[in-house]
């Protein structure tokens, strides 16, 4: 298997590249990112390329030039703009236009036989009448007042879905929030504060995915013949208050209407990325992805728990306690 990975320098892409290089059936990984990694790889199966895929010509030349020359047979597209506050045509070009061009370029490609698109759980609409358990048929978020960050993800997802059933087998992986630094995880950013404010009277269930499981899901999708949309749920499902407790933060419920201005102030003063307006419905009603179809058709089941962002002294205490328990 020869795989082209987009967004390869982002944490999720880098994690996937790492997993691919461990897999015995992978002959070549063409890792494409906006920049080259600081240190060149020592693995001869890995080729890094720097390319701005928001430019259609660059993307076309990559797919029909380098990828064809190297007989790439599968593509994992995970490139998405990660800064949640950024917006505009350039961001849209990276999120949506590049996806459209990539699918188009792959559709009648002589060597590419499989496309995996990493989508996001944020494409689903959450409200009080929605199910706690979100399956692949759940309604999508078409709210025009949603942030571009969400609208782009919905549009890109549907752009890929429009090609389902065509000659190119495509798997759309709607991943639960990847909970790791640098992945644009809103929850990760939220849990960086010592005190986490939560809407009073609500404690929704959340589900988060580890980087390792996100990579494992893409690998499973590369190997499986199934096409379609698949929810990729993580191993960790818990109430928001439990996530705060796991991160050793203080949990402070406050009236809901205060949260948006307070977190707006936090963003403005301290430069954090968390936006309460983007998470309002999730923080009230929750929503857990139903990964049954991925388990059945891709053979993917989450195995790796996330690492909670505990303060260093808590990690030290945890380690000491573990050592003491082992000695006892």
Q: Contact region for other proteins (CB under 8 A) — 7-15, 162-170, 193-201, 260-268?
A: 193-201
Pick between residue 99 and residue 207 the one whose CB is nearest to other proteins: 207
Interaction of residue 284 with other proteins, rule CB under 8 A: yes
**In the bound complex, what is the minimum distance in angstroms from residue 231's beta carbon to other proteins?**
11
Among 81, 186, 236, 278, binds other proteins (CB under 8 A): 236
**In the bound complex, what is the minimum distance in angstroms from residue 91's beta carbon to other proteins?**
33
Pick between residue 205 and residue 226 the one whose CB is nearest to other proteins: 205
Interaction of residue 246 with other proteins, rule CB under 8 A: yes
Interaction of residue 290 with other proteins, rule CB under 8 A: yes
Interaction of residue 37 with other proteins, rule CB under 8 A: no
Interaction of residue 257 with other proteins, rule CB under 8 A: no
**In the bound complex, what is the minimum distance in angstroms from residue 135's beta carbon to other proteins?**
5
| Class of residue 99 by CB neighbours under 10 A (exposed 0-12, middle 13-18, buried 19+) | buried
Among 23, 48, 51, 202, binds other proteins (CB under 8 A): 202
Contacts of 160 (CB under 8 A, 6+ apart): 99, 103, 115, 117, 119, 170, 172
Among 288, 293, 298, 308, binds other proteins (CB under 8 A): 288
Interaction of residue 242 with other proteins, rule CB under 8 A: yes
Interaction of residue 280 with other proteins, rule CB under 8 A: no
Residue pair 4/72 in contact by the 8 Å Cβ criterion: yes
Backbone angles phi, psi at 291, to 5 degrees: -95, 20
Helix H or strand E encompassing 73: none
Tell me how many residues contact other proteins (CB under 8 A): 30
Angle formed at CA 63 by CA 73 and CA 100, multiple of 5 degrees: 105
**In the bound complex, what is the minimum distance in angstroms from residue 204's beta carbon to other proteins?**
8
Interaction of residue 324 with other proteins, rule CB under 8 A: no
Residue 11's CB is within 10 A of a number of other CB atoms, namely 18
The strand pair at 205-209 and 236-239 is best described as: antiparallel
Among 1, 63, 96, 134, binds other proteins (CB under 8 A): 134
Residue pair 170/163 in contact by the 8 Å Cβ criterion: yes
Question: Distances in Å between the alpha carbon of 272 and those of 38, 117, 191, 245, 267?
Answer: 26, 28, 11, 20, 5
Interaction of residue 260 with other proteins, rule CB under 8 A: no
Interaction of residue 270 with other proteins, rule CB under 8 A: no
The strand pair at 170-175 and 228-232 is best described as: parallel
Pick between residue 113 and residue 295 the one whose CB is nearest to other proteins: 295
The crossing angle, in degrees rounded to 10, of helices 148-161 and 98-107 is 10
Interaction of residue 88 with other proteins, rule CB under 8 A: no
Among 85, 86, 132, 225, binds other proteins (CB under 8 A): 132
Residue 197's CB is within 10 A of a number of other CB atoms, namely 22
Residue 12's CB is within 10 A of a number of other CB atoms, namely 26
Contact residues for other proteins (CB under 8 A)?
128-135, 138, 199-205, 235-239, 242, 246, 256, 284-286, 288, 290, 305
């Amino acid at each position: 298997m020869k795989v082209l990975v987009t967004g390869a320098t982002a944490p999720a892409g880098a994690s996937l590249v790492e997993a691919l290089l461990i897999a015995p059936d992978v002959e070549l990984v063409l890792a494409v990112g906006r920049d080259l990694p600081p240190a060149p790889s020592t693995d001869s199966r890995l080729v890094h390329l720097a390319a701005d895929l928001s430019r259609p010509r660059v993307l076309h030349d990559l797919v029909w030039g380098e990828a064809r020359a190297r007989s790439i047979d599968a593509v994992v597209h995970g490139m998405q703009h990660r800064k949640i506050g950024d917006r505009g045509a350039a961001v849209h070009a990276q999120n949506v236009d590049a996806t459209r061009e990539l699918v188009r370029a792959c559709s009648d490609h002589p060597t590419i036989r499989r496309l995996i698109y990493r989508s996001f759980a944020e494409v689903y609409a959450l409200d009080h009448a929605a199910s706690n358990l979100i399956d692949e048929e759940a309604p999508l978020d078409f709210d025009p007042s949603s942030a571009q960050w969400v609208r782009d993800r919905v549009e890109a997802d549907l752009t890929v879905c429009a090609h389902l059933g065509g000659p190119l087998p495509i798997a759309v992986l709607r991943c639960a929030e990847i909970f790791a630094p640098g992945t644009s995880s809103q929850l990760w950013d939220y849990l960086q504060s010592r005190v986490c404010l939560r809407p009073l009277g609500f404690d929704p269930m959340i589900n988060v995915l580890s980087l390792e499981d996100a990579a494992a899901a893409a690998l499973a999708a590369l190997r499986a013949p199934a096409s379609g949309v698949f929810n990729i749920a993580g191993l960790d499902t818990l109430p928001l208050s439990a996530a705060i407790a796991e991160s050793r933060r203080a949990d402070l419920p406050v009236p809901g209407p205060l949260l948006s201005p307070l977190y707006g102030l936090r963003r403005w003063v301290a430069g954090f990325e968390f936006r309460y307006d983007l998470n309002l419905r999730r923080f009230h009603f929750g929503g857990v992805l139903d990964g049954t179809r991925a388990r059945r058709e891709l053979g993917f089941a989450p195995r790796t728990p996330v690492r909670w962002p505990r303060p260093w002294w808590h990690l030290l205490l945890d380690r000491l306690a573990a050592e003491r328990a082992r000695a006892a």
